[in-house]
Amino acid sequence: MNGIVPLWKPRGMTSHDCVMKMRRIFATKKVGHTGTLDPEVEGVLPICIGEATKIVPYLTDTRKTYRAEITLGIATDTEDQTGTIIESAPVTIGLTESKIKEVLNQFKGEIDQVTPLYSAVKVNGKKLYEYARLNQQVERPIRQVMIHSIDYLTGTLVYSNQIAKFSFDTTVSKGTYIRTLAVDIGKALGYPAHMSNLIRTATADFNQDNAITFTQLELLKEKDQLETILAPIEAGLTHLPSYQVNQELAKKIVHGQKLVRPDNWQDNQPYRLEYKQQTLAIYQVHSENQDQIKPLRVFNIMDNRI
C-alpha cells in the first residue's frame, strides 16, 4: 500500500510512537511522519506509507494551523504547561479583547523567534534541552518564521485567581514554535505567559475534518479496508507547482532520466511531474546544468497507463 494517512494524533504519544504503531497496523517498515508533535499535543499528523515516504520532507515543509491557549500571569521554563514556574505577576482586570486583537495583529507576517531552550535544536553539537538540564548558559539561535494568520477566538478571555487565559487560531510556516509565540504575545501584553494548551488542526490540505483516529484505523484493519483511508501521494504535494508531461516523457521520468528544462521553470523550485493526473516524480533545475532538470524523487508505482 502507498499513500498518506491523515492521522489524528492523541495526547500522550510521541510522533515516533505513532510511526511504530502504524508500522504494526499496516505491516510495513516504510512509514514516516511529517512534523513532530510533542506528546501533550493532539492533532493532525499526516503519516506516509510505502512510496509516499519519499515525500516526507516536502509535506513536512508545509504550513501548519493550530488552536492555542495562552495563560497570562505565569511563565515556565519550557514555555508550556509542562514546565516549572519561573515568573509570575497578577493580571489586572483591565485587559480587554480589543487590546488582545491589537497585539495579535502585530505578529502577522515575518517575525524573529528565539529558539526555546527546551528544544532539540543543536548548538555546537549538543541539543538545547541538554544545556537546560545541565543548567548551562548557551546562545540560542534566532530564526525568521512566517505567521500567515493569527486570530483571537472571541469570548475565550477568562480571569481566575489573578491569571487570564484566552485562545487563538494561527497558521504558520514550518519551524514556528507556538509556545514561543505565546510567550512573546504575553510580553507584548505586559505579562509573563506560557502556552497552556495546543491542538494542530491542519497540515497542508489535511485537517481535523478528514483526520482519522487509531481506533478507526484498527476497525478498518479488521475489515481489511485500510486502503480506503489512504490519500494519494498527490494530496501531500498540492503546494508544489505541477507540470504535465506526455507519454514519451513519462517513460523517461519513471526511469529517473534527466530532461530538457521546460520554459519558465524557476530555479530551486521543486515541481511535480504528472501524467494523466498521476504524479510520477519530483524534479528540479539541475544545479550544474541550467538547461536540464533532474529528479529529486521518483515514485515506483507501476501503472499500465504509461
Catalogue the active-site residues: 38
Q: Residue 51 in contact with residue 233, Cβ under 8 Å? A: yes
The DSSP output letter for 212 is: B
The residue whose grid cell reads 516536502 is 58
* 8 A C-beta contact, residue 51 and residue 299: yes
Q: What span, in angstroms and rounded, lies between the C-alpha atoms of 188 and 32? A: 38
CB 274 within 8 A of CB 243: yes
The DSSP bridge pattern shows strands 271-275 and 242-244 to be parallel
Rounded distance between C-alpha atoms, residue 151 and residue 264, angstroms: 37
The single residue listed with the C-alpha cell 520554459 is 263
